Structure 1
Amino acid sequence: MSPKYLMEGALNAIPVGYKQSDVGIIPEDWETKPLGELVEIYSGDSPSKFVFSTEGTPYFKVEQLNNGSVYADSTPYFIHSSKKVLAGSVIFPKRGASILSNKIRVLKHDSFMDTNLMALTCHHGLDELFLYNQLTYRGLDSVADTTSIPQINNKHISPYLVPLPRKAEQTAIANALSDVDALISELEKLIAKKQAIKTATMQQLLTGRTRLPQFALREDGTPKGTKPSELGEIPVDWEVVTLGTASSFINGRAYSLHEWENSGTPVIRLQNLTGRGDEYYYSNLQLPEKQYCKYGDLLFMWSATFGPVIWRGPKAIYHYHIWKIACEVGYSQSYLFYLLDDMTEKLKRSSSSGGTMLHVTKEKMESTKAAFPSYEEQTAIATILSDMDAEIQALEQRLGKTRQIKQGMMQELLTGKTRLPYDKE
């Protein structure tokens, strides 16, 4: 095929009103410019140079960019310094794995920053939120040197080409994406609020400090009292038993490499329960029925990754670092799930490792004591908490869809595929 034919084909693929550029097909009235012509580039200084206080100029480190907000507006560090980066500057990590996670923010206030951060202050012709969205959409890894340890220096920023409409159109695009960002932020706040309410509800209902109305009164209409126990005061009609009395903890099985198959019964590993991996190993071994789990069974991750999970997949085998928990008669699986969830969250919060490398023995779990109401009250409590979970899950699904919508909008607006009306004066 001749070069002339290829060139003609390429030209025919470009829509009317668009042109080929070094960053792809863009509108004819857009241009591309190196970022170095559009911004002032700043790097931070080591915190050892400063004395921190409770007021003054905000000082940002990489960890303060962890929240999902567009703006970097919260930090526990303040300094007294006349050297500041202006509010509205786009800030991001300039080295390490944080580059790959796209931690890009816009400074809410005049600020200063750690040596691991870089800031870009826009010249008059570049809208800072337009730049924020361009970098977010294209990814910091498209700017960085990722041959060894990811890093971004001035030499990477200065030649980086940006597709550039007029300032008014940049602002129109940025405003449209900011509206979606605001919705995302509100959903995140609502989810956090609902989760906090659920946590507080669990602490009240699972301890009996708050009773559901249908279980709170005696037959004569007087309130039920409490009684002392090894766990403290509990409702008079509750009992303290060990988890080993309420349920059976059934060990998973360790596997050798030669036992894995490409098909057969899936084997559940920790990453399959945490969302870190969707791939399964398989086994054709014939095992005792207790070594299998089915949809709806209660599993517990007990090593490194820690906590209960309700299995929502097909019949499977569970690996060595997982227990299956079978409830005894009179004990609700759903109630036990929330009891274990509350217990393990408290352990994670109190762990010096932040809950990332916890380990608990079967004997320890079986001997752990907990308070249980009647089966009917267990079921009622679990139903309320399950309804809360369903509401949170629906909000999380809505949040996920909104993020997808924003991603689609970025793809359309930041490349000029879809144009917005704007004031051309």
Structure 2
Amino acid sequence: MTKEIKQRIDQIKNGEVPQGYKKTKIGIVPNEWEENKLKDIAPLQRGFDLPSYQINKGVYPICCSNGITGYHNEFKVKGPGVWTGRSGTIGKVFYTEKNYWAHNTSLWVTNFINSIPKYIFYLYTFIDFSKYDAGSTVPTLNRNDIHSLKISIPSIAEQQKISEILSTQDKVIELKEKLLKEKEKQKKYLVQSLVTGKKRLKGFNGEWKKVKLGNLMNENNEFVGDRNIKPVAIGVYGIRQREDIFSKDLSKNYSRNKVFKNNQICFGIGTNQIVYGVNIVNKIYCVSPAYKVLDIVNIDPYYLKLLLDINNLRLSSLYLIISARQGKSVDFDGLFNEEFDIPLFEEQKAIAEILTTADKELKLLQEELEEEKRKKKALMQLLLTGIVRVKV
């Protein structure tokens, strides 16, 4: 960011009007930008009814509140088009180059007046319609509530240039997302191949042995007492900080919580599956007394996690007990009697190292993706408000 742009941002934050800008009811904008109501630039209209039994498979996207949900053999609107959610899911804005069927759960732009579709897509995304939710039980967006919004837009030429810049950033994000998905597929293949023994690592040919799950762990009921230990929760995403999950104030008395240390596993109960977390980060946490904490023995901790990952759906279907009277519980006797074929420790470790490296690559790619998304958000803030001007 140049010194000039930083100075302009500071001026606008302080209510000062930079040279080439004007003060309006909606804020400080470039002199050339025109102020209009939303309905006078890109008005919205409720989509068209299309019951599921009337859908005939075709090539025209069915555009609903949560995006494209299918394809029909007829279209109602000529592309390119922009729509957003009217009922059910609101806030997200979508764009298509194709002719499409605007579904009755959507609001679609009926006309682009002194504006281009791609620019309106970015502008409406930036506005964030979710703030105008008028629903009580079902999220609802009333077009009358947003049609009166005043917005300021540049010339068609500047809209085109801004759209090109943001589209380029979108392509960067799409490439990162595609690469991330490919890496996730590769890791999944490696897990399924290596942990089941379908694929052996070079240099390992030892016989795998059948062991009971219960022989790989010993229960440990160490309590926190008067120590100050950070609480965590265990769920479908593994180990998570409690403050990241619960917004309300939490109890500060964790004396009866169980200690959860490195090389331990913690079991709990999810909505419809057994949940667990394996502590391999060399940190000490504490968990609710309702969890079962066990020391991991006779197996590499990360390998144990992988073993449970690929078997958890089957294990949950067998040993997660759901009772109308007693609620949910885990049949740990049955679970711990399950037998698995596992390799010798050195091969476990080698497999774990390969898949740990894959995890690090995935984490790095995810961080890069988030960074590109932050860049796009910053670009939208600067370009769609006119703080940064583009040459046309």
Match of 2:343 in 1: 373
1:8-407 to 2 correspondences below 5 Å: 13-48=16-51, 51-63=54-66, 65=67, 72=68, 75-78=69-72, 80-81=73-74, 84-96=76-88, 98-99=89-90, 102-145=91-134, 149-216=138-205, 237-248=207-218, 250=220, 264-270=228-234, 273-274=239-240, 277-278=243-244, 281-283=251-253, 285=255, 291-295=258-262, 297-304=264-271, 306-311=274-279, 312=281, 314-320=283-289, 322-328=291-297, 330-344=298-312, 360-407=330-377
Distance 1:346 1:134 in 2: 47
- Offset at 1:286? 6.6
* TM-score, normalised via structure 2 length: 0.81
Deviations 1:368-416 (A, max 9, x none): 2222100000101111111111100000010111111111111111111
Q: Kindly, what percent of the aligned residue pairs are identical? A: 23
User: Tell me, what secondary structure is at the counterpart of 2:340?
Assistant: strand
CA RMSD, 1 decimal: 3.4
Deviations 1:158-190 (A, max 9, x none): 212222011111111111111111111111111
Distance 1:377 1:129 in 2: 53
Q: Which amino acid aligns with 1:381?
A: I
Distance 1:383 1:48 in 2: 52
Quick check: 1:36–1:159 contact (8 Å CA) kept in 2?
yes
Deviations 1:114-164 (A, max 9, x none): 321111144252122221222222211244436775422231242122220
In structure 2, relative to structure 1, the CA distance for the partners of 1:142 and 1:302 (3 Å cut) is closer
User: Tell me, what secondary structure is at the counterpart of 2:54?
Assistant: coil
Quick check: 2:49–2:103 contact (8 Å CA) kept in 1?
yes
Distance 1:169 1:109 in 2: 24
Distance 1:145 1:182 in 2: 34
Quick check: 2:263–2:301 contact (8 Å CA) kept in 1?
no
User: Tell me, what secondary structure is at the counterpart of 2:39?
Assistant: helix
Distance 1:252 1:42 in 2: 62
Mark the runs of 5 or more structure 2 residues left unpaired by the alignment.
Answer: 1-11, 319-326
In structure 2, relative to structure 1, the CA distance for the partners of 1:16 and 1:421 (3 Å cut) is same
User: Tell me, what secondary structure is at the counterpart of 1:39?
Assistant: coil
Q: Which amino acid aligns with 2:76?
A: K
* TM-score, normalised via structure 1 length: 0.76
- Offset at 1:238? 0.7
Mark the runs of 5 or more structure 1 residues left unpaired by the alignment.
Answer: 1-8, 66-71, 217-235, 351-356
- Offset at 1:274? 4.5
Distance 2:172 2:13 in 1: 39
- Offset at 1:348? 8.5
